[in-house]
Amino acid sequence: MSQGGRETWEARSTDPKLIGVLQRRGESQPPNLCNVFGSHLADRGSKERAERKREKMLSSPSWPSCNVALLRLVLVIITTLLSVPASAQKIGNGYRLVSIGKSPDGAGLLGYLQVKRTTGTYGPDIPRLKLFVKHETGHRLRVHITDAGQERWEVPYDLLPREQVPKVGSSAAAGPNPFSAGEYQGDELVFTYKTDPFGFAVKRKSDGQTLFDTNARPSDPYGSMVFKDQYLEISTRLPSDAALYGLGENTQPGGIRLRLNDPYTLYTTDISAINLNTDLYGSHPFYMDLRQVKGEASAHGVLLLNSNGMDVAYRGSSLTYKVIGGVLDLYFFAGPSPLGVVDQYTSLVGRPAPMPYWALGFHQCRWGYRNLSVVEGVVEGYKNAQIPLDVIWNDDDHMDAAKDFTLDPINYPRDKLLAFLDRIHSEGMKYIVLIDPGIAVNTTYGVYLRAMAQDVFIKYEGKPYLAQVWPGPVYFPDFLSPSGVSWWVDEVARFHELVPVDGLWIDMNEASNFCTGKCELPTTHLCPDPNSTAPWECCLDCKNITKTRWDEPPYKINASGIQAPLGYKTIATSATHYSGVLEYNAHSLYGFSQAIATHKALQGLQGKRPFILTRSTFVGDTMADLHEHNYAQCCFS
């Protein structure tokens, strides 16, 4: 169960209601901002909850007092405003196209770009870029832009299989240049470009519609393409009648259509879906554009395949991506119908995984089934009320001290649980349990010992990264590691021998962490505290990490709706995965990689369609599982 589900409301200092509190008070003297903050929370919930929040902020060892924090926020805003260049949103000076020709295999276009003039904002520009363009199908065009001098981080090809691009150092094929006219035609899409400053557009042949256009005018609120090590920016012009849908995952008060000037931040985060305009559990940098063309409805899709954190600014007449790493790997889907766009998109990222037939039935799940008799009573209650029930679930209540792949010997004794499963299985019902990724640090725990022996955990400064979730101190498995995947597959098989579950619910995999920074086991108190009524409070000894550009990048995305540090309540972004991959780059892939490993485990074990529900998702996740929508979310009229 999520931290957000048990502690529903999160303080939001940027909420417009805070201004309303000030105005309603009508105070002539500047109010104590902490009290205002508490009053704002009281407006949103109970006064008791607001007071708890206020006390929590004032007593937090990781952050300064409320007034000091707000003062620092004001200083940050002032500093940011003073550091913004005169052209406001325009960060760089663009690139010019210096060469272009056929790719080495002759199947695409390969070009090179040179920066026009460097700027220092958010770091130096990468001087030379490699451009690769290919019509991969009749209705799909790919535009890939990266550093011409060295390989950069991309979504791993083994996680999301797709066509390879030419390696760094590749040269265009010899022979006449077929692209001198400034365009590259496919069956349905046309790629056109300008050389100085470099810009490109994508058009649909059948109706002449421009689907994406990066060419900036002096009057536009955005500039030419920017490509720095930790800041990538690219924009497109949009017609006024375009209606955009996508760029998940977040909760928008006005529905799923993108709204002007609302914040769209993509960075997987454990925060309740009741929080508006905030990055949530998944990252899906894809949108569908619906518009009228000569009185007929048409649609197309755009995917920026990038796992780094990003802000997307939608202004109605334009859309701008601001990404803190990786490459610009853009895919365009011609449509022209919404169904056609979905078909073309899923042909790239993977079709939705076929579900077992029983998964389409009636399910019952909640946290708090304190023992097996409660679960049996729920099933019996459905039967007595003549309400259909096909699947019964357990949250972490079945576990021994919240440890994965275990059973509570008192409340869920194995012999009685097996008898219960025999009974419901004989009636055609199924049983699903929850598993969190955090593995308890416990030398009497076989799962932990086997993981340590196989060296499967994410590292920080050469040691497993220490975090805290429900069992207390934990390490996180690395699902980008082949040994991590094989260890996970084995643990799922061992657990299935213990309890023949029918599916798995993988939760808390953004990844969620109750602590922040570099943590150590405490020497002065127990962690977890067996008497604590708030097990989600950090009990490790932790220090914030600010010494690297990965923990404190030059551009701050609007994480958690408050520009929170990237490592806040998650894995430190300077931690490393297999082969030195930075958490900074792979953060939003954690749930996706766990889902793929879990799918492999269940499919190999049962030989049937697996059932997996995951909370954190990424592009292509439907190949392996279903997506959890948090139970704490609310309905908005």
Query: Which structural domains are found in the chain, ordered by start?
Result: 94-160+177-349 (2.60.40.1760), 357-514+578-633 (3.20.20.80)
Cα–Cα distances in angstroms (integers) from residue 404 to residues 74, 194, 315, 368, 536, in the given order: 43, 56, 45, 17, 17
Better pLDDT: 189 or 54: 189
Of 80-84, 255-259, 345-349, where does the model show the most confidence? 345-349
pLDDT of 238 reads 97
Separation between Cα atoms, residue 13 and residue 27, nearest integer Å: 19
Q: Look at residue 85 and tell me whether its pLDDT is greater than 50.
A: no
Strands 109-115 and 95-102, bridge-based pairing: antiparallel
Predicted local confidence at residue 501, as pLDDT? 97
Indicate the DSSP class of residue 337: S
d(CA 34, CA 76): 18
Quick one: pLDDT at residue 255?
83
Spell out where 243-325 has E strands: 243-248, 264-266, 284-293, 296-304, 310-314, 318-323
Mean pLDDT of 213-242: 96
pLDDT class of 431 with cuts at 50, 70, 90:
very high
Q: Given this model, what pLDDT does residue 469 score?
A: 97
**What is the structure's pLDDT at 633?**
33
Instruction: Report CA-CA distances (Å) from 190 to 176, 303, 335.
Output: 20, 17, 14
- Mean pLDDT lowest among 89-98, 169-178, 362-371, 411-420: 169-178
Q: Which of 516, 414, 412, 408 has its CA nearest to residue 471?
A: 408
| Residue 43 pLDDT greater than 80, yes or no | no
pLDDT higher than threshold 90 for residue 199: yes
Mean pLDDT to the nearest integer, 507-522: 97
CA angle in degrees (0–180, nearest 5) for 574-580-581: 70
Whose CA is closest to 319, among 260, 266, 277?
Answer: 260
Residue 332: count of CB within 10 angstroms of its CB: 23
Give the residue-averaged pLDDT of 531-556. 94
Count of alpha carbons within 13 angstroms of residue 416, beta-carbon side? 14
Query: Does residue 246 contact residue 570 with C-beta atoms inside 8 Å?
Result: no
Of the listed ranges 168-177, 248-257, 517-526, the least confidently predicted one is 168-177
Q: How much is the average pLDDT of 607-614?
A: 91
How far apart CA 62 and CA 545 sit, in angstroms, is 11
pLDDT (0 to 100) of residue 53: 39
Question: Mean pLDDT score of the chain, rounded to an integer?
Answer: 86
d(CA 572, CA 550): 9
Give the DSSP letter of residue 552.
S
Task: Report d(CA 285, CA 307) in Å as an integer.
Answer: 9
Residue (of 501, 504, 494) closest to 420 by Cα position: 501
- Specify the residue for token string 């998702």: 617
399 φ/ψ sector (left φ>0, alpha ψ -120 to 50, else beta): beta
How many CB atoms are located within 10 Å of the residue 444 CB? 7
Q: Residue 516 contacts by C-beta under 8 Å, 6 or more apart in sequence?
A: 62, 538, 542, 544, 565, 567, 568, 569
Locate 96 and state its tokens: 């010019």
Query: What's the full length of the chain, in residues?
Result: 637
More confident residue, 162 or 36: 162
pLDDT category of residue 373 using cuts at 50, 70 and 90: very high
- The DSSP 8-state label assigned to residue 285 in this structure reads E
Helices (H), 461-531: 482-498
Q: Which residues pair with 287 in a beta bridge?
A: 246, 302
Tell me the pLDDT tens digit for each residue of 300-312.
999 999 999 999 9
- Could you tell me the end-to-end alpha-carbon distance of the chain, in angstroms, rounded to an integer? 26
Give the per-residue pLDDT at 555: 97
Q: Per the structure block, which two tokens stand in for 183?
A: 């365009």
pLDDT for 173: 67
3-state secondary structure string, 85-142?
Answer: CCCCCCCCCCEEEEEEEECCCCCCEEEEEEECCCCCCCCCECCEEEEEEEEEECCEEE
d(CA 536, CA 504): 23
**Which pLDDT value is given to residue 47?**
38
Whether a cis peptide bond, with omega within 30° of 0, leads into 336 is yes
Look-up of token digits 């909370």: 615
Percent of the chain whose pLDDT exceeds 90: 73
- What secondary structure, in 3-state letters, does 600-624 show? HHHHHHHCCCCCEEECCCECCHHHC
| Arithmetic mean of pLDDT, 308-318 | 96
